[in-house]
Structure 1
Amino acid sequence: MGDQHFKETVELTLKVIGGKWKPVILCHLTEGTHRFGELRREMPQITQKMLTQQLRELEEDAIINRKVYDQVPPKVEYSLTEYGLTVKELLNVMSRWGEKHLEKEKELRKSD
């Protein structure tokens, strides 16, 4: 019935970086360090609560670093950890698949 280990590891990957927002957050962080407000501006559809939750989960899974500066107003920066940088390869594969899917959608619309 298929490779159980394969299924389990895909499920684990989706648990860590899956969902609507985590891949988008990770794409932004592959470009470098971002402050919370920058991420909010770059993703206007995400709520503050959801962004905070997703960042916390990524931090708990050692994918991102959260650096807090002791100043007023508070300054917090987010960046990929060394381990988190390994996700870029996966994001590149997802992007290539998305390109192929766009082409397929165009073909389907032409045949309608």
Structure 2
Amino acid sequence: MNKFLEVKSPEKKILRQQYQKARVENRWFSGVGFFTTFSVPEGVARLSTRSTYITDVRGKVNDTAVGFMLHIKDGILKFLEGYTYDDPWPDKIINYKLWYTNYDQQKK
């Protein structure tokens, strides 16, 4: 989550505020990834974009290529999805590296 939210922008500021107030509602593993759903309390600022997703973070976990997708629904954080590209998700994370797929994001 931190990699998604570290970029300085008005939208990411709102998402950071939501994340600070959110609680993890559910977390489950599919074998090739995971889903973490969030519950954001009423009264927290919402994005004007109703529903979208952010996919600009990729990485490696124990030398396995991974990607991440942050889903926004009705202007609030809904869930984070982490996935591999057909490999099993590692049972134990020994090391990882994350990066942006959007070059402009890397410079901020």
Tell me the TM-score normalized by structure 2. 0.28
More strand by percentage: 2
- Structure that is richer in helix per residue: 1
TM-score by length of 1: 0.27
